[in-house]
A = this chain, B = another copy of it.
Amino acid sequence: MNEIRDGHITSPSGFVASATACGLKESGDLDLVLVASKQDCSGAGLFTQNQFPAAPVILDKETLAANPSRLRGIVVNAGIANACTGPAGLKDARATQHHTAQALDCPNESILVLSTGVIGVPLDMQKISSGIQVASQDLSEENGIQAARAIMTTDTRPKHVAFSIPYPEGDVILGGMAKGAGMIHPNMATMLAVLTTDARISAVDLQRILQEAVQESFNQISIDGDTSTNDSVLLLANGASGISIQTEDRLRIFAQALKEVCRMLAQAIVRDGEGASKFVTIEVCDARTNAEARSIAQTIATSPLVKTAFAGGDPNWGRILAAAGRAGVDLDPTRINLWVGSDSGIDLQLVMDGTPLPYDDTQAEAIFCASEFTVRLSLGLGTAETTYWTCDLTHDYVSINADYRT
């Protein structure tokens, strides 16, 4: 498979998009996106586990369950999350779906809805419905990057990618866009991702491979440990390439590309984390189970003390072990080994069999001061492992989140 330069959600055949400023963002920036397919799509979606799912999350689950194989488009608004808005919020989400269906000339249940922004504030349906009207007049294959820009909130740059995946009878294209710079920002909420492909794949297969891909990408990142009310990943497959993917062998190739696209978008979110100055990979290996490895990686990746040490370029391995030690996993301290490594190939062991090793301070600081580095923790208990991506916790994170409304 090959990455398409500046690829995006309308790189796959048969998809069009448009973005407009309907007035939800006070800045007047683009805030409403339509993504549409001329042909029916099969679709899949994964959604937040938060107990307060936003109205569009509730609606999309219902829509995907009822009509997973004849989807036609997605409408996204940024600026208002339509979360914690009660029954009125669900009515607004349905109205948004209805206006989009009318504009695209399809049934309501062919449209998925995404929202991101302020929690607890009702959508301005006047702005939404005129925005949908305007956007529906400008649908084009040229607007993929503009769409990625329109869904941004505290993001500093659009996140989009596409790959071509070779099959004997020709290439299929897989594109994607995402937003999210904290795992949640209830003033400016949420991680959203939209994925499109011109392959023909059944909704059942799509859902299965999307789940696997998300597990190894969007579920392996943390900026601040908070999970939004709106987090959603949607995938549409319209079959416009004429290439059908059904057998396990052919699905495996597509699934691998899907994982790569999800991983690139997930990593782009971490790299653009609110206030982040460093991108850190946490590898936990030799664990008894994947779940235990993941639990430890996640605890390290979300520890404020670890993340402030990263911010300070401080080779403070004690904080890493202390975080691992409170993850709720039984450990044997005498089997612990810890390394840190940089992209430039330096690999420094800091702890061997539970005992600190003397190390070159200059070398350690060179790694921790780099903009990207890896922490590798071996538990010595088994063969399971996981990889997690996180960023540092900086003054800018506090500024963005503390000073937002002042």
- Chain A interface residues toward B at CB < 8 A: 49-52, 81, 83-86, 118-121, 182, 184-187, 189, 224-229, 303-305, 308-309, 311-314, 316-319, 321-327, 329-331, 333-334, 351, 354-356, 392-395, 397-399, 401-406
- Assembly stoichiometry (copies): 2
Is there an interface contact between B51 and A329, defined as CB atoms closer than 8 Å?
yes
Are A304 and B118 in contact (CB-based, < 8 A)? no
- In the complex, the answer to whether B393 meets A398 with C-beta atoms within 8 Å is yes
The listed residue (B51, B120, B404) touching A356 by CB distance below 8 A is: B120
- Give bound CA distance, A187 to B305, whole Å: 10
Which of A229, A392, A402, A403 has the most chain B CB within a 10 Å cutoff? A402
A398 to B402 Cα, complex, angstroms: 13
Least CB separation from A330: chain B residue: B51
Contact of A226 among B229, B304, B393 (CB under 8 A): B304
Contact status A333-B52, CB under 8 Å? yes
**A312 is contacted by which of B50, B229, B402 (Cβ under 8 Å)?**
B402
Q: Is the CB of A405 within 8 A of B120?
A: no
Closest-by-CB residue of B relative to A119 is: B318
Q: Is the CB of B318 within 8 A of A84?
A: yes
Which residue, A313, A319, A330, has most C-beta atoms of chain B within 10 A? Answer: A319
Q: B313, B324, B334, B397: which contacts A304 (Cβ < 8 A)?
A: B397
Also in contact, A322 and B226, with CB within 8 A (given A312-B406, A333-B51, A405-B314): yes
Closest chain-B Cβ to A97's Cβ sits at a distance in Å of 21
- Verify A354–B316 contact, CB threshold 8 A: no
Pairwise interchain contact B187-A318, C-beta atoms closer than 8 A:
yes
Question: Among B84, B309, B398, B402, which residue has its beta carbon within 8 angstroms of that of A333?
Answer: B84
Task: Determine the distance from Cα of A318 to Cα of B120 in the docked complex, in whole angstroms.
Answer: 7
The answer to whether A51 and B182 touch (CB under 8 A), given A309-B402, A312-B402, A405-B316, is: no
Q: Is the CB of B401 within 8 A of A394?
A: no
What is the bound-complex CA distance between A184 and B226, given in angstroms? 21
Closest Cβ of chain B to A183, distance in Å, is 9
Give the one of A49, A316, A394, A406 with max B CB within 10 A: A316
